[in-house]
Amino acid sequence: MRFLFVGDSMTIGRAGDWTWRYRMWRHLEATLPGGFEIVGPRTGLYDPAADAPASDAYADPAFPAPARRHLAGWGEGWLHMAPVVGETVAATGADVLLVSLGLIDLGFYTNSDQTEENVRAFVAAARAANPRVRVVLLPVIPNVRATYDAPFAAECARFNELLAKAVADLDSAASPLLLATVPESYDLQEDTYDGTHPGPSGEHKLAAAFAGAMHQAWGLGGPYVTRRG
């Protein structure tokens, strides 16, 4: 089974991060030993000094190179991923997409309605490449801007409602969609390093959201266990 991580800055991570991708890889190693592969056209972390995805300085240097693969980008959202997900799924043979997008779209590029249209385009393109692809989608998670920008907070809330509706509309037996649940315990002070991007505890909670959805709905993997390091 081939897994593809799709996301924005919270998924690619920056130089020195563990990333929630790393946490998910360790979870899959423990629950699907030898039965999965991480795929994707990119491997790097965002390097603030270069303003580019040019770093390989993961917090754990032993993170295997093949497991670092992803389709994520700093400043990229549904708007950017919808046009490239089809070719990526076709090239990598991805079976399961773990998708965390939306915050950057609503913050800089598109409103909630336009963003939902890009969600539907994304799913259609992924299915055109693999009619049996499975997709787990994470809603827009809590973030500091929503605490002081009321119109932005309203757009985030509305998009999450539209995302849930899109998942319900588009779900099928052949190509199932799941909506992951953001933990109620997600805390901006404890789980992020700047009010938006996850720190170590936040990374675990995001990985757990995806792992829990897959285990409960599909019996895939197992319960998420927070592992040190």
Using DSSP, state whether 43 is helix, strand or coil.
coil
Amino acid 124: pLDDT: 98
Distance from C-alpha of 16 to C-alpha of 203, rounded to nearest angstrom? 13
Inside any domain, residue 223? no
Residue 7 has pLDDT above 90, yes or no: yes
Domain with residue 126: its CATH number is 3.40.50.1110
- Indicate the pLDDT class of residue 227, thresholds 50, 70 and 90: confident
- Nearest residue to 83 via CA among 145, 27, 126, 32: 126
Q: Is residue 197 part of a domain?
A: yes
Nearest-angstrom CA–CA distance, 109 and 115: 9
* Residue among 109, 153, 135 nearest 220 (CA): 135
pTM across the whole model? 0.97
- On average, the pLDDT of the chain sits at 97
Distance (Å, rounded) from C-alpha 127 to C-alpha 174? Answer: 10
Whether 120 maps to a domain, the answer reads: yes
Q: 33 pLDDT band (50/70/90 cuts)?
A: confident
* Number of domains observed in the structure of the chain: 1
> Which residue range forms the structural domain that includes residue 198?
2-218
pLDDT at 171: 98
> Is 180 part of a structural domain of the chain?
yes
Residue type, 37: E
